[in-house]
Chain A
Amino acid sequence: MANVPADLRYTKEHEWAKLEGDKARVGITAFAQEQLGDVVFVELPKVGAKVSAMKTFGVVESVKAVSDLFAPLTGEVVEINAELPKKPELVNSDPYGKGWMIVIKLANPKEWETLMSAADYEKLVASAGH
């Protein structure tokens, strides 16, 4: 049912994180983009910005609504998805792939263990669904 890749970790605010060495790639989940509808604008931090776990790092605007983006992990933004300003719809079409948002260099790698597993996130989505 829900599209929740097993190799990612999740937040209760519907972001995903993918561990890449001492960094993590971050985006929003398939469930989140479905709830938002057509994404028309993504506001991201600049490379070099510091982000903190469960603090906002940007916003995503859909036709209907605006929603804060929460950083799953603490650290420094070392990369942002430069495609998103021109093609915000990638968040809808490929939320776990081309729709990624930022890469964080982790200040505290132990934080990874505080994120939700795919199984737990699936339960959250199932209970939020109906």
Chain B
Amino acid sequence: MTQTPALLKRTPLRDVHVKAGAKMVPFGGWDMPVQYTGIIEEHRCVRSAVGLFDISHMGEFEVRGPGALGAVQRVTSNDASTLAIGQVQYSLLCYPEGGIVDDLTLYRLADQHYMLTVNASSIDKDWAWVTEHGQGVDWKNVSAETGLLAVQGPKAEGLVQRLADTDVTRVPYYHFVKGGVAGVPCLISRTGYTGEDGFELYAPAARLESLWSALMEGGKGDGIQPIGLGARDTLRLEMKFALYGNDIDETTSPLEAGLGWVVKPAKGDFIGRAAIEKVRAAGVTRKLVGFEMTERAVARHGYRLLKDGAEIGVVTSGSFSPSLERCIGMGYLRADLAPAGTEFDVDIRGQAHRARVAKTPFVPSKAKKS
């Protein structure tokens, strides 16, 4: 058994979810909605209309002052010096040994002022990490007072625009503006974890319920539904977005995970750089691939990948894809077997089930690239 509900942390909307009929589950120490009506229905709602997610469990750290950029550059793998004010960047915290502490999005709020958004289950670990390794600057953990909603889907832009007091249609992908949404002051970020166009809205925790209600009300005509963590997982899996703790962790190299594009050794030293460059020089021995099952059988985290009976890798994520109506997954596979089309077996409860390396994303991204 996991933790008892009494020990779980709650977002400002926990009671709203319970009232809406959500099934609540423990996730990373939080009492979170896994589904409201059903994962498949919620998934399709996001792909075809618009869905609203409470992701206030995510953590937010701010760092500011003359040393802020230097501290961020030291602890993260991507090059923060290229960020304009109003821009967002996907990045990693890495260990000196080259494994991953966490993945995050980095916001440049002002000239010497940044925000890092980190995974809920990693907040304490990441906070200890950044404050230890980014010393001499002013770090602030604003996780508790910051609420976060994601509005995702083809009708997300129209909905947010109707409620916003600023032009959000001009905000490019991985950029943000500050503005009011339904009268609530927000950081309006054109980002997400679904492969759909949409926004993530950072708002004061105390105002989150009124923002949630306004979006639910304003999106009625669009067919808006609240979306739980279950569909959040199937949506991100269809895009082959990594989930920390499943697909990436302290034992995986960013290069194996296909995240070399957010590792910028040319920017100067950062924690993990030497170890990662060693891996780059030697070449990776395994790669994180997407695969599809050729029959209806679900590969789950931890299942073994086999070729002619020999172990060649391991499943890191797997589920049924509501968009493709096929079972898909992600896993680390021996590098020579990683090209799309390679066939192998997944050991599912002692039986070999055939799978094939797929081209990813499994479903084309509709995020607004600019």
**Which A residues are within 8 Å of any B CB, using their own CB?**
34, 37-38, 40-41, 59, 61, 63-64, 66, 85, 92
Contact = CB atoms under 8 A, between A and B. Distances in A.
B38 A40 contact: no
Given A37-B230, A40-B327, A59-B349, A66 B35 contact: no
B186 interface: no
Given A37-B39, A38-B38, A63 B234 contact: yes
Contacts of A34: 23
B240 interface: no
Contacts of B35: 37
A80 to B, nearest CB: 16
Majority SS of interface residues in chain B?
mixed
B297 A41 contact: yes
A61 B303 CA distance: 15
A104 B258 CA distance: 50
A64 B38 contact: no
Nearest to A65: B300
Contacts of B34: 37, 64
B298 interface: yes
Contacts of A61: 297-298, 320
Contacts of B262: none
B368 interface: no
A94 to B, nearest CB: 15
B228 to A, nearest CB: 10
Contacts of A59: 349
A81 to B, nearest CB: 15
Contacts of A92: 38
Contact of B296 (A37, A63, A85): A85
Nearest to A63: B39
B319 interface: yes
20 contacts: A37-B34, A37-B39, A37-B230, A38-B40, A38-B320, A41-B296, A41-B298, A41-B327, A59-B349, A61-B297, A61-B298, A63-B230, A63-B234, A63-B320, A63-B322, A64-B39, A64-B230, A64-B319, A85-B296, A92-B38
